Amino acid sequence: MDQELFEAAVRARSHAYIPYSHFAVGAAVRAVDGRIFTGCNIENSSYGLTVCAERNAIFAAVKEGVREFAMLCVTADTPAPVSPCGACRQVMAEFHIPVISLTNLKGQEKRVKLEELLPYAFDLEGQENGQS
């Protein structure tokens, strides 16, 4: 367990805006230079506009110019380590986040590779040779 990254995710979770689901999620992503960026889920009365913790963490890094990542940690108060939604997996694939640490508040961890979370991902290379 990357304890510092996990604790950052737990802290970020405390800021979750969750009036609809009441399900708080926290995420923290570590850049290759060591810096940590965090996110929580932010819901909306127009439910589909909700953004998950993982995407908010990744976007917090990208908007600071960070493009190279080492690992992302996601956490929630779940019986088993929480698993990211499909949309977040696609965003993780976009930025080639190599390792994802799925955790819960009990400190249980399941580490997975990006390819395990989203095999055969559609990516930039997948658009090569397409018709313009």
Least separation in angstroms between residue 131's CB and ligand THU is 35
Catalytically annotated residue among 54, 64, 115, 128: 54
Among residues 11, 15, 18, 78, which is the contact residue for ligand THU, using CB under 6 A? 18
Q: Which residue has the tokens 């990744």?
A: 58
Contacting ligand THU within 50-109 (CB under 6 A):
50, 52-54, 74, 82, 84-85, 88
CA dist., res. 89 & res. 82, Å (int): 13
Q: Give the strands of the sheet with 36-40, arranged side by side.
A: 36-40, 25-31, 69-76, 99-104, 109-113
**β-sheet bridge partners, residue 111:** 101
Minimum separation from the CB atom of position 89 to ligand THU (A): 9
Instruction: Supply the residues annotated as catalytic.
Output: 54
